[in-house]
Amino acid sequence: MTRTGIVYHPIYLQHETDGHPEKKERLVAILDMIKSEALKVEYITPEPVTRDQIAAIHGERYIDQVRAISEHGGGYLDIDTILSRGSYDASLMAAGGAIAAVDATMNGFDHAFALVRPPGHHAMPNRGMGFCIFNNVAIAAKHALGRGLERVLIVDWDVHHGNGTNAIFYSERSVLYFSVHQYPHYPGTGKATDVGEDGAEGTKVNVPLPTGTGDEGYLMAFREILRPIALEYKPQAIIISAGQDPHKDDPLGGMRVTAAGFGAMAGAVKEVADICCQGKLAAVLEGGYNLQAQAEAIVSEIRAFQGTVPEVRGIDLKVAQRIEEIKKIQRAYWKCFQ
């Protein structure tokens, strides 16, 4: 029987961000919809990361800065990123939640979804930004490599480019980072020519999509770029940076993805996982700021992980042109495009 884990801890609600788009109600809405839809899931309680696990990604001085600001009642890491008294502990548990999702897939679960906050994919080694404090997915990927794996695939479908994750692993072949994101858009990174460096060229696959891209365009990128590269790379673990802000109703994005589109993307990643890693994959919550839209998208994703995948067909001519450009760029690194 398929086992789906949901990683959650109530401490995530103690990251207080009054009046901010990244608010605790996001998690409440998701949990309520999972319950109302009677999805067959098992809840997993995470443990906080250790300092050593954070320090594998983030600098000691930055870790101390986050802790000090939080312990003194809160403040701002940057103009967009707020800390409250409970944020440091919530951040430790958010990264721990991402690790718990990865460990679950290595210890009996078929897939796991870490419903964590604060999110993480913008967090740089020595800087928090874009609502993110510690880079949860990067910490989890490093943990997976520490368990003896040699190749980890990170799929990031948040509307914003995961500049932190991309930068952290930019010179590491052990992590294949694939990002589909609105461009131009915050944070302004993620050009198709950003492919990695120092022997890791080709393991960073950035797919900047034009504003207004919907289900068809996203699925084209997954089928024509992600799938062939991933099957050639043969990842031993897959982690999704699951941001639901490409949804057509999200206030912070300009894309047109529907709940069915998110399910289809999840199904496309699951198909790669079936071929490469016994169907096992872990997802970690990133963005998504329309409460209803985000919850509906996540339910669609979980159902896709469990085998019910919506069908998306059609061609987006603008995206088709972008895909050909990316294939030309990546051709030097992948036989599938030669």
Active-site positions? 122
For residues 165, 171, 177, 181, the Cα torsion angle rounded to the nearest 10 degrees is 60
Enumerate the β-bridge partners of residue 281. 111
DSSP-derived 3-state class of residue 337: helix
- Sheet of strand 281-285, all strands in order from the earlier edge strand to the far edge: 42-44, 4-7, 111-114, 281-285, 237-242, 152-156, 175-182, 204-209
Q: How far apart are CA 102 and CA 104, in angstroms?
A: 5
Nearest to 268 by CA among 235, 233, 220: 220
Tell me the torsion sign for CA atoms 245, 249, 253, 258: positive
Nearest-5° Cα angle at 21, 251 to 160: 60
Between the alpha carbon of residue 149 and those of residues 51, 174, 273, the distances in Å are 22, 9, 15
Backbone angles phi, psi at 140, to 5 degrees: -65, -40
Question: What is the C-alpha separation between 201 and 184, in angstroms, rounded?
Answer: 23
